[in-house]
Amino acid sequence: MTLGHETAVSLRPAVAVDLPEINDIYNHYVSRSTCTYQTEPETMADRAAWFAAHGSAHPIIVAEMANRVVGWGSLSPYKQRHAYRFTVEDSIYVRHDRLRHGIGSILLARLIELARQHGHHSIIAVIDGEQTASIALHERFGFTRVSHMVEVGYKFDRWLDVVDLQLML
């Protein structure tokens, strides 16, 4: 897919060689943003374990431009209890210098397709209440707000709200 005058964006399943770029994209936000509530950078060992824990029903995809990973998305088990097995949680991260180029939309559209293909029943998005762009992105794809939890996270010396959105497949 081409975004205006820019290089085409292509999507593909993530492979182990992508992990350093995936980790770099994620860790940029750990110390700078409330889009993740993680407070310490992800180690490569932890990223490798995360990657290994994602099977075919819980894919990880990357977005590339000019042979460089510019974003990634994943479907993860929503909760570990067996009764939740048909519900997944999505994650989408775009390189900080590639925001507002439609990459998040491309990733989310593909994750929704993959969730349907794998027989999932719903997707949950767990988003910081101040991340209005991420909330709006999910709402554009039909996600609806199902909860707003007040002051459940604490990062950057302040309390943070969490908004849960859900898409029934």
**pLDDT digits 0-9 by tens, 79-116:** 999 999 999 999 999 999 999 999 999 999 999 999 99
What's the rounded Cα separation, in Å, for the pair 115 and 142?
14
Q: What mean pLDDT is predicted for residues 147-169? A: 98
Q: Which amino acid is at 5?
A: H
Q: Which amino acid is at 148?
A: H
62 lies in some domain = yes
56 lies in some domain = yes
Domain count, the chain: 1
151 lies in some domain = no
| pTM for this entry | 0.93
What's the rounded Cα separation, in Å, for the pair 43 and 61?
20
CATH of the domain at 24: 3.40.630.30
The whole domain housing 110 covers 9-122
What's the rounded Cα separation, in Å, for the pair 32 and 98?
16
- Whether the Cβ atoms of residue 25 and residue 79 lie closer than 8 Å to each other: no
Give yes or no for residue 5 having a pLDDT over 70.
no
